[in-house]
Amino acid sequence: MITISEAAQAHFRKLLEKQPEGTNIRVFVVNPGTPNAECGVSYCPPDAVDPDDQHLPFSGFDTLIDPLSAPFLEEASIDFVTDQMGSQLTLKAPNAKMRKVSDDAPLVERIEYVLLSEVNPMLAGHGGKVTLTELTEDGFAILQFGGGCNGCSMVDYTLKEGIEKQLLEKFPGELKGVKDATEHQRGDHSYY
């Protein structure tokens, strides 16, 4: 379910040395399955353990996960990276905003999952996002851009060379292409 690198495990062990005996680590998702989902890591003292929590044993500590967060932490990873800027704990949870869908789920659900878990995190760096508004009968995904993408001069390139290529590669034979439903004129609705 969650991968914790050796460096992150060592970091947690060091932090836990200063905590009361029996304290473990809790990994959780606030607002799971929504665009506002946020992942977190906290201490979990013995009196905060719930009988329904999942216990994942690691070297020197357990990681506890509540039942509501668990499906959204599939394929999550925690690492501790040190570079010239210092050290940083990173938690990546590609399924936090939307529960992973099965390979045989309807195409519309699989497209939405890819947009939320892979495409939007890349667009978020520019303040943008994209949503699926319709899947046409003839196999075209109609997308609506928002935020920083609205009014951006690179939106056509992003749509055709980025998003469309990625979706066609993931859904060959099922999807014919993507189209943009967004009106990209700058105005009061634009983010810039």
Using one digit for the tens of pLDDT, what is the confidence trace for 18-77?
A: 999 999 999 999 988 887 889 999 999 999 999 999 999 999 999 999 999 998 998 999
**Residue indicated by tokens 């749509």:** 159
Distance CA(177)–CA(111), nearest Å, equals: 12
**In 118-177, which ranges are continuous DSSP H helix?**
120-123, 155-157, 165-170
Per-residue pLDDT band for 5 (boundaries 50, 70, 90) equals: very high
**Residue indicated by tokens 């062990």:** 13
**Residue indicated by tokens 């993931």:** 170
Q: Which residue has the higher pLDDT, 167 or 188?
A: 167
* pLDDT for 184 beyond 60: no
